[in-house]
Chain A
C-alpha cells in the first residue's frame, strides 16, 4: 500500500525566510502528486499538482514543487514566505489507476511577521 511521509510536522519561520517542506512516498509506479493547503478557517484547497511533464511545477502564491522520481519525493518550496502563508500543508499521492489518494499527516507552518 502507498504511504506518504511529511517529515516536518511543525515549521516556524520569519517572513522572507525560504521554505522547503519534504514529502516522500513509497510506491514506485505511476503517480499523480498533489500539495493541498488549509488556511486558518478556510477550506482545504489545491496548491499545486504534478501529473506528467516538467517535474518542476508552479502553483498559486509563488509556491513550487519538484518531482524527483529517483528519490520518490515531491518537496514544496517557496523562496520567501509571507505571514499569510501560515497554514497547514498536506502532500497527497494518487497511484496509477486508483481512486483513493494517500495523504501525509500534514505540516503546520507558522510565519511570524
Chain B
C-alpha cells in the first residue's frame, strides 16, 4: 500500500533562516506530487505541484521554492524565511483519477 512521509513534524525557525521540508512517497511510481499550505478557515492553498522529476509548477508567487530530485521525493525550500511563512504545510500525491493522499503535515513557526 502507498504511504507518504513528511518531516519534520514541527519546526521553529528564526526569520531569515533557510528552510527544507521533505516529503517522500512509498508504494507508487511516477505520482503527481503537491505542496499545500493550510490556514485555519482558509482551506488549502496549493503552492507547488509536480508531474515528474525536475518538473515543478508554482501556483502562488512567494518566498518558497520546490524541487523533485527523485521520483518519489518532493522538497519545499526557502533561502530566507519570513514571519508570514508560518503555517501548516501538507504534502500530497494523487492517483490517476485525482484522489489526493495527504501526509501528516509539518507545522512551521517562524519567529
Whether chains A and B associate is: yes
Residues of A within 8 A of B (CB): 9, 32, 34, 36, 43-46, 49, 51, 90, 92, 94, 99-101, 103-106
- The dominant DSSP class at the B interface is strand
Residues of A within 8 Å of B99, CB to CB, are: 34, 46, 49
Q: Which residues of B are in contact with A by a Cβ distance under 8 Å?
A: 32, 41-44, 46, 49, 51, 59, 90, 94, 97-105
- Are the CB atoms of A104 and B43 closer together than 8 Å? yes
A-B contact count (CB 8 A): 44
Q: Is the CB of B103 within 8 A of A43?
A: yes
When the two chains form their complex, are residues B43 and A103 in contact, meaning their CB atoms are under 8 A apart?
A: yes
With the chains together, A106 CA to B39 CA distance in Å? 10
- Evaluate contact between B102 and A44: CB separation under 8 angstroms: yes
The answer to whether A94 and B98 touch across the interface, beta carbons within 8 angstroms, is yes
> What 8 A-B pairs come out closest when comparing CB atoms?
A105-B43, A94-B98, A44-B102, A103-B44, A103-B43, A32-B98, A106-B43, A43-B102
Whether A51 touches B97, Cβ cut-off 8 Å, given contacts A44-B102, A99-B51, is yes
